[in-house]
Structure 1
Amino acid sequence: MPDWTNDLPEAAQEFIAGRRLDEVECIVSDIAGVARGKAMPASKFAKQTHFYLPNSIFQQTITGDWANMEDQAFTEPDMILTPDMSTATAAPWTADWTLQVIHDINDQDGNPVPVAPRNVLKRVVELYNAQGWQPIVAPEMEFFLVARNIDPAHPIEPPMGRSGRRAAARQAYSMSAVDEYGPVIDDIYDFAEAQGFEIDGILQEGGAGQIEMNLRHGDPVRLADEIFFFKRMIREAALRHDCFATFMAKPIQDEPGSAMHIHHSVVDAKTGENIFSQPDGTETETFLHFIAGMQTHMPSVIALLAPYVNSYRRYVPDFAAPINLEWGRDNRTTGLRVPVSDATSRRLENRIAGMDCNPYLGIAASLACGYLGLMEKKYPNAEFKGDAYASDEGIPRGMNEALDLFDSSPDVRAVLGEEFCKVYSAVKTLEYKEFLQVISPWEREHLLLNV
């Protein structure tokens, strides 16, 4: 066994124990959250300390086009990628014995590349650390299992269940509904165990074939790494059983969308105490400042939490997706929810983010809002009691408006990094322009002969 494998995480060492490691996948997340990189024989990986990728991978749209930056030449200089061995994990769905390793991304002077999503999240976490704080997150992942769809013009359908029927909608928390696609869930559990990931729970959500998976709380970068890995792994588990897993925000008409709810708390780095709670267990003013930051700055980061035109189809009243920035205790109609908890785990749940967002950027954007609130020390609106779906909408309802707010927010851009914000805006603007060129079936059906 090569010496470098002695430094692998325990789960990775157990995966390759007694076996010949064939391949290592050296990967990073692009703007969309797609894994980019290189695969190489394990023998070659053992001999090299780094490899190169062009910085243009962060200017690529979801359709494969490239956004040009007006203030820089398109010369595609190489970035230096070095393995973060703490992220090494199995790729248990492959035909041979393969490990995946997320890489750190620096420029040729050794500085973190500011447009890399993982570096953006690290930047925000470091702002908390500079104040003596450690942010803690606990994400919830929602996704759909759907029938194979090889024709983009054909509507997406629920998968065929074990009973021979399509998965049923409106069966939230039903165990029998989960059992319908139990073999996929079994593979997800097996893959997660091989990768050393801990799943807090899996349940049936309200949509047909919609599943929610909860992860344990912890360090934001580590949790974003896990979601990055999980999304790939879940897709692979579904393919084994003749269906697709999709993380689109709204894949099926008249069904609820998929969110990535993010639970936030912040602890004192020295004492480990939750700064949202007083010694007597009551909430602190700091907690209210954090909520106020979310209310104030969330509209400016919706472009990261809802990154595609499809994302805004999820924001529909009474479809379990909040369209407001109200906050309330144990109230799922508010965009910002304070769950039932004891003092040590007091937290705020951001229910706005969609599952289609890049996990690094979604968590970074949410944390950025909370950080600004902690620094500004403002107070939120009064707690909302009752059905917040009836309240005024507080977030942009389309990609164009969201990008305008993102571009005009100097506070948010200072936290996330101006260079990243310029590239992100350019990529998303190009994607939106591409979308506007597409004529939909609705337009052909209702406008072709009637107007």
Structure 2
Amino acid sequence: MTMSPTGALVDEAQSFLDANSNVAAVDISLADLHGIGRGKMIRRHELLDLFCNGRGMPASLFAQDIEGNDVPGAIATQSDGGGDSLCWPVAGTLGRQHNGRGLVLLQMFDRDGAPIPHDPRGAMLAQITRARYMGFQPMGALELEFYLLDAAGGPARALLGGRCMSSTNCMSVDELDEMSPFFDAVYAAATPFDLSLESLLSEYAPGQFELTLRYRDLARAADDIILTKQILRSTARRFGMRACFMPKPFAGQSGSGMHLHLSLTDPVRGMNLFADQNGATSLLMLQAIGGVRAAMADTMLVLGPTLNSWRRLGAAIYSPTSNSWGRDDRNVALRIPNGSPASRHFEHRVAGVDANPYLVAAVILGTALDGIEASNEPGPQYSTDGAPALPRSWTEAIESFGTSCTMRRILGEDLHAALAAIKRQECARLADHVSDIEWQLYADI
């Protein structure tokens, strides 16, 4: 038996098996660079071996496009000849799904127990380790906005009463009740994974909803998003619906974001270091905001990783597109919410719901720490003065990211190069595609 580099103990697996005698199989899931789960379904008797010895899978999973095809430029960043590396379970993520199978998240390591440089969870943990060396424990929570659609991608029908969900109904309590069988099932499915899904509301578009999650240590907060999206997709299928995590599925309607709330605490005393000091905003938080603003242009590919991301960012409906900050203003990119001075934090509002939560956490925390190390000024509130302009398009974001020394340092050279290669190929493929609207406009010129 080998000690798991994730800290997962075989006792967790044994307790799960003892409590779930009728579970016959377990889904083991590794989040790729897109946040898509890649893995296997193993049988019950294989679970203890996974916790004791890991499970082999190829690192080329981190060199694939969204459809699972190898990208030559990303493969070129790897030197293992396509052999298997070891995946280990992430402690605390093993639970029973409502489909009767188990589920556990994975992280990939080499045969010596070092994190594979392409694994986005490893990149996040490297920045968390950096924060701890600086005397900070990162805390956070991410919010999920998403659409519920019918199986064909059209408006879903209310589960109670059958009404077509075709009107906005922002913050409608009745709409939540009409969909309560689905959300009751989601909350129930979250319980075995220690997922605290908290506030639920109907958002600013037909069939759009938002879920907030418990505020806790940043690594687990990012794991929570991977698990929650899987639960939402799986539950929706069982109700004949589709949970859609496109950031802008419909023109003229609200986009879906994934806002990150972030603070730093004292790891010994547990005190929030972003808390107001004598009635004034924490200097540490202002420096962190200054660091995030200084590098935001370079992070935009992580925050908006797809062409569809930029349809959301180009809209005017609650989608912050300026490099700005302010207090309790939803039009800025970095918002300091009202609330208890002791729980003060900032909310990064730019990322789309399609973004990889591990990469989002890595680049936001990493640039915040840069700001603290450099004693950065945040600049004036509600203004873009003093911070670099953001890319105006997905192609500009790809190039800004690809040439960024800051992103290369925070994410690591191999992951940075692989992601840039994948996105350049994806962009070239879409640029070659002739769309239906082009036929409509230009076919008869």
Asked if TM exceeds 0.5, the reply is yes
State how 1:109-124 maps to structure 2 within 5 Å: 109-124=112-127
Matched, 1:76 2:86: no
Q: Deviations over 1:148-196 (max 9, x none)?
A: 12xxxxxx42212243332133322111122232221111111112332
1:267–1:273 Cα contact (<8 Å) kept: yes
- C-alpha change, 1:397 and 1:147, in structure 2 (3 Å) is farther
Segment of structure 1 superposing worse, 278-287 or 45-54: 278-287
- The answer on whether the counterparts of 1:323 and 1:393 sit within 8 Å (CA) in structure 2 is no
The alpha carbon displacement at 1:349 in A equals 0.5
Alpha-carbon distance in 2 for matches of 1:258, 1:379: 30
Listed one character per residue, the Cα deviations across residues 25-48 of structure 1 (whole Å, up to 9, x for unaligned) are 222111111111122111122245
Aligned-partner SS, 2:209? strand
2:129 matched to which residue of 1? 126
Q: Distance in 2 between matches of 1:421 and 1:35?
A: 20
> Residues 226-245 of structure 1 correspond to what in structure 2 (within 5 A)?
226-245=224-243
User: How far apart, CA to CA, are the structure 1 residues paired with 2:94 and 2:435?
Assistant: 43
Partners of 1:395 and 1:446 in 2: how far apart?
A: 31
The equivalent of 1:39 in structure 2 is 41
* Corresponding residue of 1:183: 181
Q: Secondary structure at the match of 2:326?
A: strand
Question: 1:191-245 deviations in whole A, cap 9, x for unaligned?
Answer: 1123321112111100110010000111111111111011111011111111100
- CA offsets 1:111-146 (integer angstroms, 9 cap, x no match): 110110111111111111110111111111100001
- How far, CA to CA, are the matches of 1:431 and 1:413 in structure 2? 20
Q: Which runs of 5+ in 1 are unaligned?
A: 150-155
Partner of 1:299: 297
How far did 1:84 drift? 3.0
The 1-side partners of 2:224 and 2:88 are apart by 19
Partner of residue 344 from structure 1, selected from 342, 349, 353:
342
Alignment of 1:254-265 (within 5 A): 254-265=252-263
Which shows bigger deviation, 368-377 or 329-338? Answer: 368-377
Rounded Cα–Cα distance in structure 2 between residues aligned with 1:269 and 1:189:
31
Query: In structure 2, the residue corresponding to 1:264 is in which secondary structure?
Result: strand
Distance 1:368 1:163, change over 3 A: same
**Is the 2:168–2:207 contact (alpha carbons within 8 Å) kept by the matching residues of 1?**
no
Instruction: Give the CA deviation at 1:307.
Output: 0.6
Point out the more displaced range, 192-201 or 49-58. 192-201
Residues 73 and 266 (structure 1), Cα distance of their counterparts in 2 relative to 1, 3 Å cut: closer
**Residues 114/5 of structure 1: CA separation in 2 closer, same or farther (3 Å cut):** closer
**Contact 1:268/1:274 (<8 A) preserved:** yes
Quick one: percent identity of the two aligned structures? 29
State how far apart, in whole Å, the 1-side matches of 2:78 and 2:376 are.
Answer: 38
| In 2, Cα distance between equivalents of 1:229 and 1:287 | 29
Give the Å deviation of 1:99: 1.7
Aligned CA RMSD, in angstroms, stands at: 2.3
Structure 2 residues without counterparts, runs of 5 or longer: 1-7
Q: What is the CA–CA distance in structure 1 between the aligned matches of 2:42 and 2:67, rounded to whole Å?
A: 26
1:173 — aligned with what? 171
Please, which moves more after superposition, 298-307 or 71-80? 71-80
Secondary structure of the structure 2 residue equivalent to 1:265: strand
Further displaced range: 254-263 or 190-199? 190-199
Cα separation, partners in 2 of 1:302 and 1:274, compared to 1, 3 Å: same
Pair 1:87-2:93 in alignment: yes
Q: Supply the distance in 1 between the matched residues of 2:231 and 2:80 (Cα, whole angstroms).
A: 34
Match of 1:398 among 372, 393, 396: 393
| Cα deviation code 1:71-125 (max 9, x no counterpart) | 6568212111122342212222x2x4x2212223111232110110111111111
SS at 1:26's partner residue?
strand
- Aligned AA for 1:443? E
Which of the numbers 142, 149, 153 marks the counterpart of 2:145?
A: 142
* TM-score w.r.t. length of structure 2: 0.91
